[in-house]
């Protein structure tokens, strides 16, 4: 397959998945959130509140409210991101309108179940859209624009915005439903992170030890993981050090710590989360 065909296929594949993600998000809203007067944060949350107050179609509200953010954020987010986002938002609006016309029965009227499963399903849908290049909510774009004018991060701007959304929800639906909505937002946010960043649960470990050769052999032979040796310099004394870098799965963290303790009780090590680990170098050395 030629490079241009691969590029075209990749773009079509991403657009299809953006649409799939938007349809999943629409289904979560129609099956869980709307029937139980529970909202999410951001533009989706505002659209749900306005839908309750005015009976205007939710999909139309999402589309109209997102357009200004996409328009003003165009020069910061790029043309391709804009097209993916518009595709997702239009797909969300159309899917929700169709599902609403079908008049599907809510899967549950128990608020806690609607909160958890609605948040999970919404997070999966929004996460797929974000993972493949788009967005269904303009609040992060708004945060990006405000960050350039105000001394706040994108996350802080979105948080302040959502505080007002949930406060408004407490007046419209009552304090109980507003609290369920906050929980829905939290569940959806965590699910989005898992979908966007991956669920492989890998950890990056850096080890500083004088016994680096023995440590390398032990990790390679007992754990089957490749080790990268980095050259470093002490910040205080300026002495040269060897730092070992290894990526392991979540289940291999404890065995790795045991290996480190066995080889050098005085070794310094730090364990960090990784969002994604790919490539042949991550495979076990026993697989090569």
Q: For residue 185, what are the CA distances in angstroms to 39, 40, 86, 166, 254?
A: 8, 5, 22, 10, 33
Question: What pLDDT is recorded for position 124?
Answer: 94
Question: What pLDDT is recorded for position 16?
Answer: 95
Question: What pLDDT is recorded for position 278?
Answer: 62
For residues 176 and 56, is the Cβ–Cβ distance under 8 A? no
Question: What pLDDT is recorded for position 192?
Answer: 85
Question: What pLDDT is recorded for position 15?
Answer: 93
Domain 203-287 has CATH 3.30.70.120: yes
For residues 18 and 126, is the Cβ–Cβ distance under 8 A? no
**Average pLDDT, consecutive stretches of 10 residues, N- to C-terminus, the chain (288 residues):** 74 93 93 90 90 86 86 71 88 88 82 94 91 81 70 72 91 93 91 76 84 87 84 72 84 84 88 70 52
Question: What pLDDT is recorded for position 153?
Answer: 65
Question: What pLDDT is recorded for position 275?
Answer: 66
Please name the residue ranges forming H helices in 174-219: 175-197, 212-218
Q: CATH 3.30.70.120 region(s) of the chain? A: 203-287
Question: What pLDDT is recorded for position 154?
Answer: 61
Q: Give CA–CA dist 267/30, Å, rounded.
A: 54
**What is the number of helices (H) and of strands (E) in the chain?**
11, 4
Question: What pLDDT is recorded for position 175?
Answer: 93
Please count the CA atoms within 13 angstroms of the CA of 102 that sit on its side-chain side. 13
Q: Give CA–CA dist 253/263, Å, rounded.
A: 16
For residues 260 and 222, is the Cβ–Cβ distance under 8 A? no
pTM of the entire predicted model: 0.75
Q: Give CA–CA dist 185/43, Å, rounded.
A: 12
């Amino acid at each position: 397959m030629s490079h241009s065909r691969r590029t075209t296929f990749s773009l079509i594949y991403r657009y299809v998945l953006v649409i799939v993600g938007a349809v999943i998000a629409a289904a979560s809203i129609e099956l869980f959130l709307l029937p139980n007067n529970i909202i999410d944060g951001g533009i989706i949350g505002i659209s749900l509140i306005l839908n309750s107050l005015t009976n205007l179609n939710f999909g139309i509200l999402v589309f109209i409210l997102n357009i200004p953010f996409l328009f003003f954020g165009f020069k910061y987010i790029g043309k391709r991101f804009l097209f993916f986002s518009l595709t997702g938002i239009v797909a969300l609006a159309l899917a929700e309108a169709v599902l609403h016309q079908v008049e599907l029965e809510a899967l549950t009227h128990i608020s806690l179940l609607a909160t958890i499963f609605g948040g999970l399903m919404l997070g999966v849908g929004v996460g797929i859209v974000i993972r493949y290049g788009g967005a269904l909510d303009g609040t992060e774009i708004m945060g990006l624009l405000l960050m350039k004018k105000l001394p706040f991060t994108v996350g802080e701007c979105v948080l302040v915005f959502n505080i007002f959304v949930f406060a408004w929800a407490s007046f419209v639906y009552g304090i109980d439903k507003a609290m369920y909505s906050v929980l829905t937002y939290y569940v959806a946010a965590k699910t989005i992170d898992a979908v966007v960043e991956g669920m492989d649960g890998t950890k990056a470990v850096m080890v500083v030890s004088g016994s680096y050769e023995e440590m390398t052999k032990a990790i390679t032979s007992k754990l089957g993981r490749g080790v990268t040796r980095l050259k470093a310099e002490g910040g205080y004394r300026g002495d040269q050090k060897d730092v070992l870098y290894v990526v392991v799965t979540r289940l291999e963290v404890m065995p790795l710590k045991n290996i480190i303790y066995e080889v050098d009780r005085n070794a310094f090590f730090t364990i960090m989360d990784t969002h994604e680990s790919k490539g042949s170098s991550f495979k076990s050395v026993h697989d090569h």
